[in-house]
Amino acid sequence: MNIPYFSTTMQSPLGDLRLTSNGQAMTGVYMSTQQTHSPAENASKECSILQQAKRQLNEYFSGQRHHFELPLAPSGTEFQQRVWKALCTISYGQTVSYQYLANLVGNPKGCRAVGLANSKNPISIIIPCHRVIGTNGKLTGYAGGLDNKKWLLEREVAAATFRMKIA
């Protein structure tokens, strides 16, 4: 069976983002700094999922959205899928360590495996792999670049703090 692929590019505060979909769910959000290439590199059609993703990402970047409501279909191993699912439980403006994530997926000695799965996340930002930091609190590894990781975390923490102050 031939799966259709749809792709579009959008401007963001982090530069161009390439969004991909199979027509039913999101399959990728790639930053221009990522070396990972999507399977839809040559696709150019848009679909309603990509239009929704653009809208929700723009809302996220403007601080209006703290949770994405999109169907997701990241392609990966069973272990990667578990890690990516666990990433989706990290609240907006919060961070966890690779060790915490390893414990969460039932592999307490698997910090490196979790880090590798994190680095292979094809749906960055929406599956918030940027919220994982080193046990010592330092920013480590991010396929989109550490500057982008820092920007995302600072933006989320500032928005979450502001929201608490006005509540």
DSSP H or E stretch at residue 9: strand 6-10
Contact (Cβ atoms closer than 8 angstroms) between residue 33 and residue 145: yes
Residue 18 — left, alpha, or beta (φ > 0 → left; ψ -120 to 50 → alpha)?
A: beta
Q: How far is CA 97 from CA 6, 15, 34, 114, 140, in A?
A: 34, 27, 22, 10, 10
* 3-class state of residue 17 by DSSP: strand
**47, 88, 111, 129: which one is catalytic?**
129
129 is catalytic: yes
**And the tokens for 96?**
């966890």
Distance, in Å, from the CA atom of 31 to the CA atom of 14, rounded to the nearest integer, reads 8
Catalytic residues: 129
